[in-house]
Structure 1
Amino acid sequence: MSIDFQNKTALISGAAGGIGLALSRELGHLGMKIVMADIEQEVLQASANILRAEGIEVLACELDVTNFEQWESVVSAAKDKFGAIHMLINNAGVGGIPSGIDKSDNNIFQWVVDVNLMGVMYGARATTPSMKEHGEGGWIINVASMAGMNGVPYSTAYSATKAAVVSMSESWAVELKSHNIHVSALCPAFVKTRIHESLRTKQDKYKTNMLKENAENLKKGFGQAAALVESGIDASLLAKRVVEALENKQLYIFTHPNYRESMGYRARAIDKAFEDAQNSPLVKHLIDDEIVSL
């Protein structure tokens, strides 16, 4: 049985373009009312007008996801406009600056953490009370990445935050099940977006000299990132895949089955490490201990 999205409300961060815009369009055409939130106001308003012209009911709100008070304001505006929120898509994210850990910039690392990790937490914290309040259940979709399933060299901050998003999703899936709120971690590989240009949205408080000091190397790194992103799937295909996966109540939403073998390698490595522990004279006696769960 297909999900009835009619007249339900979705709040989507980073909705001005890329994945956020594609999901806004797809869900809007399925009958949802869309709250589009983004830090880029001019682009957001233009995108919102395009969707309105397609017959989608849209509320466009400015949002810096690193600011919890702004999240609260967006949630309040969404409830005032549409009455309730049924879906949250934590999509806003940044890629940071490619670098080895010994050359990482603390402020840039903090920027990635604040947007990709704290922004997701703030979104869930601000929105979940509304979902519980109306009692109809709902969805939280946190946009992670294949990088969150397996670390990527020279992208430590991005990989770490996306892994955290996967872990938070796993935690919230159990926590919110009794409220009929389904949680998913969306883990795509490369998608045609502007993630490689995310420095355009960097707030002034995250100052760095890295761009000047490593201009030539960074130009090469960003060029490689751009080529990988451009080789990706269209965001519109990803949006349709998300809807398909929601029908099956998937916790992990994958878009690139060609990554299955590499993820299987990681799973086998983990299993081998458990086998090693089981054979260890130091800890093998714990094999029959009861697993304590909360």
Structure 2
Amino acid sequence: MNTAAVEQFEASRNRLASLAYRLLGSAADAEDTVQDAYLRWQAADQEYVEVPEAWLTKIVTNLALDRLRSAQLRRERAVGAWMPEPLLDGDPMLGPADTVEQRESVTLAVLMLMERLSPVERAVYVLREAFAYSHAEIAEILEITESASQQHVHRARRRITAERNSRDIDRASARRIVEAFVDAASSGRTEQLVALLTDDATGVSDGALGLAETLIRYSTPQRLAAAVRTGLKSSAAKRRLAGGSPSIHAGVVNGCPAMLVTLDDRVLGVTILEIRDDKIAGVRGIAAPYRLDRLTAEWQRREHDVPLIESW
């Protein structure tokens, strides 16, 4: 493959990775999908590819759909232990963020809601909402009719819009929210933490060090608050498991305020807060190392704000 063809692909790599991430909810799977697309591009007779961007978009979309439809992936997601991989604000894999729809499409809440869609509905929703493809273009990519594309996106919007939470968060706002959350969780008074939550707040976690066989769910604000208080309570046993005394930082992850627990520049865990009406409507705790690989790599490349807690 000549240099121009390689450069053409590399110029599209971040956009393709962002598309694959939205479709799969996994940074690792997105990277593998883009690499598979590169191999297809390598083998293609590029002289006959009229619009490389459209060709690559179609290849990545259909490779991602093949992954979503695979029996192995369906089994992994069906057992109740699957959760999207979190990405740190500014990660190029998050992709376009100019519109509300683009920003919402990478929140963990929407990525989880998209699990309820069929693979084709998910693809149509992402291509339309996050990348602004026309229905004619989507029909060509997925080899469906324009009317089918319109029907799929209508159904997807109806399912997702009814449940999503939305609020744009900058770093300063995120720090204030996380600071209040950490202060309340550390106060020893569950009611102080419950006061920050909506009446229907829920939580989900992959357990201490990400070792839970299935996701742990908290169905009421009281249960969620109690779990958060227990999780943030420092102890010698927890420090031994962590390998030292971690720091706690505020950040933005998948467009939401987040608490990051770090040690020696490694991210040991992240707690993502979903905001609705200036209160916390959802809490997602992620600690499995394989879910944090890319986030940790991005974290290590950044300058960090002063931690909320220097040594936990």
TM-score interval w.r.t. the shorter chain?
under 0.3
